[in-house]
Structure 1
Amino acid sequence: MKLVTLLLGLFVVLIAQNASSQENEQKSSRLSVGGYGEVVYQHFDYSADFNRFTYPENFSDKVSRGQTDIPHLVFFLSYDFGNGWKISSEIEIEHAGVGAEMEIEAEEFGEYETEVEKGGEVVIEQFWIEKSISSQFNIRAGHLIVPVGLTNLKHLPVEYFTVLRPEGEHTILPQTWHENGISVHGRLRNWQYEVQLVNALDVDAFGSANWVNGGSVSPYEYKLATNMAGVVRIDNYSVNGLRLGVSTYAGNSTGNSLKEDRYEGLNGRVWVGAVDGEYISSNFIGRGSLVYGNLSESAEISRINKNLPSAAPSPHTDVAKNAMSVFLEAGYNIFSFFPQQEDKLYLFAHYNHYNSMHKTVAGMLADARYKRSVYTAGINYYPIPQVAVKAEYGMRKFDKPYNQENTISLGIVFSGIFN
């Protein structure tokens, strides 16, 4: 709580300083304060019972239930000290500030379990200092966004059509993925690049449902960094309105277990490759992403993780050799047919196919429940560019014998600079 009080106090001081600095235009232009957030309502026609995958024949009847949530509320600030030096940070409050929650864990035979997120009620999503040398070369160090996949690059709620972040990448990769490390980035004509060295993932938290996603969340007061990882992202802007990008992540994970001797002789190398693109014209937006990942020695890691002590930060399940996600979405502003309209209304369609157990080693069951296709259609209304009202209908489909799951989602989102 001392950290929370200190950080929130810092925000109050900086915002007050920004208000008083109107007398000094030069100083006020150096400080930026902003944020983003979502308020969401969802209606489901399927049960939340963890047995719906164990006994799907008992859950074929539709049910009616709803929930509300504030998935993210983020405040960010940055300050330009001059001479190429800049500091920036993001502080995120997740799910209305709940730091611990009780849930029934489907992968552990319906046990009641308390989940605790790193940072309690507050997550520091970014905190770095940067030295800008030129447009071609800049150095950044601190707590960084790992820009692998489209959603980690474009994670503001006005940067995708769906009410929540695209489901596939959100399942198999950390979202938003942030690690401690150092980055070199810049732009060379139509090419933009970033190269990072960051702390690698923690093998203890890998599992069937979310592949390596949980490996970024440290249950300790620090992040283990015995193993480091490399990240490379390259984007091209040669065609007007079009961005095409590739990104990759590679690093061992067994050294970042608090008891790494459990994995003696193993590397647990995680490799992720992604290709994504976005095209934006005056009235049309199209996006797409393909993510594919590989984990070495998944059989040995699965055997160890399933036998970890019950209190260990692990789902205690098998973890697949390969996971994948692909999504495509496109939307058109139908208000373009009415030239007097300055606001925008996008009709959109979204397709997402993903599988956290895409390929497994011999002898490991690839659980069919994790192979999913999601079809979504809806609208995004933008009264101003910084605010959107979203509505959608989504169908999540599985192979037999699992039942289709349908969701209606409504959201109000914002993203912008306050000063």
Structure 2
Amino acid sequence: MNKHLIASAIAAAFLAAPLAATAGEAELLARIDKMAAELEQLKADLKASQQKTAVIEQKQQELAAAAPVAQAPASPVFANAAPAASGPTTIIGGYGEINYNRPTKNASAAQTDVRRAVISIEHRFDEKTKMVSEFEWEHAIASASDSGESAIEQLYVERQFSNGLRAKAGLFLIPAGLLNTNHEPTAYYGVERNFVETAIIPSTWREAGIGLSGDTAAGLTWDAGITTGFDLGKWDAASTEGRESPLGAIHQEGQLAKSRDLSVHGALNWRGVPGLLLGGSLFSGKAGHKADGYTANDARITVYDLHARYTPGLWDLSALYARGQISNTALLNETLVGNPTPVPKSFAGWYLQAAYQALKSGDYTLSPFVRYEQFNTARSYEPMPQGLGIATLPDEKVTTVGANLKVGEGVVLKADYQKFKEDKTRDRLNLGMGFSY
């Protein structure tokens, strides 16, 4: 309703005047009364429309005036939500998982474990500066006589600059592989994390140092940094820890970390095609730290990976190859002769994985998956004097078949069966529950 409609009605009244000359007086009066009533209705409609417009404009002005108050509260807000545009904001998050493992060859060894519980706190000082922290407890109880562990998984400050560059300093996760920086139980398939990204690339691998990262318009994300590295002096040749994960046995995790020798890392990830991720990473640094009398001060550790993930439609496909190397360890291994776990020269592994969203009903999503992986934590050793040669290990091959059932966005129920090619005593059924928020 507007002024144009009122004008049209008045014009219609004048155009109708000639017809009145031939109409009866009663008919003419009736038509005039009708048009007058229509004109009054048009006026009423126009007035109502103008009043509604005024109310809307007033509400918009009130919201605009109140917006700065909502974005900059006087005290921090504890909520799992996106940070405000300005002003301090604190976000609480976390994740956890409880797993059940039942070996098929030895049912009496079945066990249930509160594998981990993590609380994360992110505080945003302003729109460009934030602090990120994660506190982790493993195996339910941490004490001198228990198997549990408490640890600071991340603790760093990050600053974002106007050109899109980001800088951080502190203890942070190394951007290697697909799992290390995205390791919540709701983010991966299977009850247990895959072997390649736990035995070859240790999970969760973090170092203390400084890092830079950025993005390009072409879909490329890059990371680089200088951090602490590994301490080969921690190698225990009498235990099997180094056989399970060579780097996991000598990582320092920011705990009184030896820093005479620092390491460098870099990573590239490309997402230029919807649903496709292609990337790789490299980490390298010496690990002897110039210790007095140590025979492996020139040992260098280098680890790299290449990875891909593609999610067309209901499919989720991924592949990864990782390889590590520890150089200049021949003299060290000569001093370790007779121990079960000498230092390997190389270790490597790869996997292929396919998952399919078979069912989605309400907030339930069922995704069966299959994963095949092959890895070796002692693929080769440096040459030794005749008669002191070290036997390499065979590649272990593991097939995992199972399914993830997501409940909403934050809870997942998992079940899978794992079949080992070499060590068949490790065949097992796994059940798990995980969450993240």
Question: How high is the TM-score relative to the length of structure 1?
Answer: 0.77
Determine if contact 2:287/2:297 at 8 Å carries over to the other structure.
Answer: no
Q: Distance in 2 between matches of 1:19 and 1:212?
A: 37
Q: Does 1:204 align with 2:238?
A: no
Residue 285 of structure 1 deviates from its aligned partner by 1.0
Q: Distance in 2 between matches of 1:38 and 1:21?
A: 20
1:40 corresponds in structure 2 to: 99
Q: Distance in 2 between matches of 1:343 and 1:282?
A: 17
**Structure 2 residue ranges without an equivalent (≥5):** 1-74, 236-241
Give SS of 1:122's match. Answer: strand
1:85 corresponds in structure 2 to: 129
Q: Distance in 2 between matches of 1:151 and 1:351?
A: 16
Change (3 A) 1:304 1:415: farther
Change (3 A) 1:130 1:303: same
Give SS of 2:371's match. Answer: strand
Out of 317, 320, 323, which is 2:341 matched to? Answer: 317
Determine if contact 1:168/1:352 at 8 Å carries over to the other structure.
Answer: yes
Q: How does 1:205-354 map to 2 (within 5 A)?
A: 205-206=234-235, 207-217=242-252, 222-255=256-289, 260-263=291-294, 266-304=297-335, 317-335=341-359, 341-354=362-375
1:374 corresponds in structure 2 to: 398
Determine if contact 2:86/2:126 at 8 Å carries over to the other structure.
Answer: no
Change (3 A) 1:262 1:148: farther
Residue 303 of structure 1 deviates from its aligned partner by 3.2
Determine if contact 2:283/2:304 at 8 Å carries over to the other structure.
Answer: yes
Q: Distance in 1 between matches of 2:364 and 2:245?
A: 38
Change (3 A) 1:21 1:361: closer
Change (3 A) 1:362 1:265: closer
Q: Distance in 1 between matches of 2:432 and 2:295?
A: 47
Give SS of 1:208's match. Answer: helix
2:220 corresponds in structure 1 to: 191
Change (3 A) 1:20 1:31: closer
Q: Does 1:31 align with 2:75?
A: no
Give % identity: 25
Q: Distance in 2 between matches of 1:192 and 1:267?
A: 33
Q: Does 1:407 align with 2:432?
A: no
- AA aligned to 1:352 is E
RCO higher in structure (CA 8 A, sep ≥6): 1
Q: Does 1:365 align with 2:424?
A: no
**What per-residue deviation string (whole Å, max 9, x for no partner) do you get for residues 38-97 of structure 1?**
1101101245xxxxxxxxxxxxxxx54310112221111111111511111011111113
**What per-residue deviation string (whole Å, max 9, x for no partner) do you get for residues 200-234 of structure 1?**
1000234333222221136x951111110001011
Task: State the structure with more CA Rg.
Answer: 2
Determine if contact 1:45/1:64 at 8 Å carries over to the other structure.
Answer: no
2:110 corresponds in structure 1 to: 66
Deviates more, 1:150-159 or 1:371-380: 150-159
- AA aligned to 1:226 is R
**What per-residue deviation string (whole Å, max 9, x for no partner) do you get for residues 270-314 of structure 1?**
11110012222442211221001111012223334569xxxxxxx
Q: Distance in 2 between matches of 1:197 and 1:323?
A: 24
Q: Distance in 2 between matches of 1:83 and 1:40?
A: 39
Residue 144 of structure 1 deviates from its aligned partner by 0.9
Residue 389 of structure 1 deviates from its aligned partner by 0.3
Determine if contact 2:103/2:427 at 8 Å carries over to the other structure.
Answer: yes
Q: Distance in 2 between matches of 1:378 and 1:217?
A: 34
Determine if contact 1:200/1:253 at 8 Å carries over to the other structure.
Answer: yes
Out of 107, 126, 142, which is 2:154 matched to? Answer: 126
Change (3 A) 1:316 1:140: farther
Residue 265 of structure 1 deviates from its aligned partner by 6.7
Pairwise CA RMSD: 2.8
Q: Distance in 2 between matches of 1:330 and 1:296?
A: 35
Q: Distance in 2 between matches of 1:241 and 1:18?
A: 34
Residue 148 of structure 1 deviates from its aligned partner by 1.6
Residue 101 of structure 1 deviates from its aligned partner by 5.5
**What per-residue deviation string (whole Å, max 9, x for no partner) do you get for residues 141-166 of structure 1?**
00010112222132111221011111
Q: Distance in 2 between matches of 1:366 and 1:288?
A: 29
Count of matched residue pairs: 351
Q: Does 1:75 align with 2:119?
A: yes
Q: Distance in 2 between matches of 1:294 and 1:45?
A: 34
Change (3 A) 1:276 1:99: farther
